[in-house]
Amino acid sequence: MNRAKALAGAAFAAPAFALMLALLIGPLLVLLALSVTDYRLGAMAVKLVGLGHYAALFQDEVFQRALRNTFLYVALVLPGAVFGGLGIALLVHARVRTRSFYEVIYFLPVTSTLVAMATVWQFMLHPSLGPVSAVFAALGMAGVDLLNDPSLALGTLAMIGLWQQVGFNMVLFLAGLSAIPRDLYEAAALDGAGGGIDRFLRVTWPLLGPTTMFVTITSTIAAFKVFDTVAVLTKGGPLGSTETLLYVLYLEGFQYFRTGYAAAMTIVLLAFLIILSLLQARVIDRRVHYA
């Protein structure tokens, strides 16, 4: 390739590269740098601590618990968010006249602010005032306090997270369903694969592969970043049973002002997200793209 061409190519790539540098790579480098210092917000002097923070993370019981809670939360939300979204999309897609009505209903939680909705949930789940508790009481389980019982609180947050994510995934699956050519369903009907199960296994599920992969990765990341419901509803309690990575990170960085330590946590969180995404992309990608 001649020099002029190479130069032109670099010039075209430059704006995007500059933006990436300023908005992604730069902050990441700053974060990396902070994570090896004992910087506290507003401090005048900074000392290098090397990998000390990372070593401390492995000893930090709060962090370990937050890590466990976060993984548990993801494991609780993910199957429901993906398969629930798919199921609802399949049902809504089959509607003709009521389709847009159901789309709006299921998408509403996505458009609402989770912090505002969390206060609504707080009322709904209130042990003495909330309708949910009333239902539990009517079923003979009076006194169940979904947000203050250490064994139930994380699960309750997961259900709220699911409620919020499932509508978004439904919309993604609906888009995926609309992209499946009608011819393929007709060919399947002629081939004898017109029944619900065969049609799903031969056409719908395989052709939704790329959508499913995308939904799984975005849902995982969204669940990993759970924060607002924790901050509003439980503040990590009871007994730390709902402390999640992002919440602990927020406490360290913005309540205790241990910026360096929080930076190290962020790096670990990022590493998890990148590893998870790569794993999913590598494993699934080969099975869902047929070109």
Partner 1 sequence: MPTNRRPPAGITLRGIVKRYGPATVLDGIDLDIAPGEFLTLVGPSGCGKSTLLRTIAGFEPQDEGQVRIGDRVVDRLPPAERDVAMVFQSYALYPHMTVAGNIATPLEMRRLSLAERLPLLRLASPRRPRIRREIMAEVEAVARQLDILPLLARKPAQLSGGQRQRVALGRAMVRDPAAFLMDEPLSNLDARLRVQMRTELAELHKRLGATFVYVTHDQVEAMTMSDRVALMEAGRILQLGTPAALYDTPASISVARFIGSPPINLLPAEARADGAIMTEGLRLHAHGALPAGRVTLGLRPEALELAPPETPGTLPVSLRRAENLGAEWLLHAVTPGGTDLVARVPATAPVPERFSLAIDPARLHLFGADGQRLVTRLGLRVPA
Tokens of 148: 């203050």
195 binds partner 1 (CB under 8 A): yes
Question: Least distance from C-beta 94 to partner 1, angstroms?
Answer: 17
Integer Cα distance of 2 and 236 in angstroms: 60
Member of 50, 197, 282, 286 binding partner 1 (CB under 8 A): 197
Piece of the chain touching partner 1 by CB under 8 A; list 59-67, 111-119, 160-168, 201-209: 201-209
194 binds partner 1 (CB under 8 A): yes
What phi, psi does 37 have (nearest 5°)? -120, 170
Question: Least distance from C-beta 201 to partner 1, angstroms?
Answer: 7
Cβ-defined contacts of 31-35 (< 8 Å, 24+): 31/263, 31/266, 31/267, 32/263, 32/267, 34/259, 34/260, 34/263, 35/260, 35/263, 35/264, 35/266, 35/267
Piece of the chain touching partner 1 by CB under 8 A; list 54-62, 94-102, 148-156, 205-213: 205-213
Member of 32, 90, 132, 193 binding partner 1 (CB under 8 A): 193
What phi, psi does 48 have (nearest 5°)? -75, 135
Member of 8, 191, 254, 274 binding partner 1 (CB under 8 A): 191
Q: Give how many residues touch partner 1 by CB under 8 A.
A: 23
Task: Specify the residue, 58 or 290, whose C-beta has the smaller distance to partner 1.
Answer: 290
Taking CA atoms, 61 is separated from 56, 122, 171, in Å, by 10, 28, 39
Tokens of 172: 């993604």
For residue 27, is the peptide bond before it cis, meaning its omega torsion is within 30 degrees of 0? no
192 binds partner 1 (CB under 8 A): yes
Tokens of 99: 């389709």
290 binds partner 1 (CB under 8 A): yes
203 binds partner 1 (CB under 8 A): yes
285 binds partner 1 (CB under 8 A): no
210 binds partner 1 (CB under 8 A): no
- Can you give the binding site for partner 1, defined by CB under 8 A? 181, 183-184, 186-195, 197-198, 201-203, 206-207, 209, 290-291
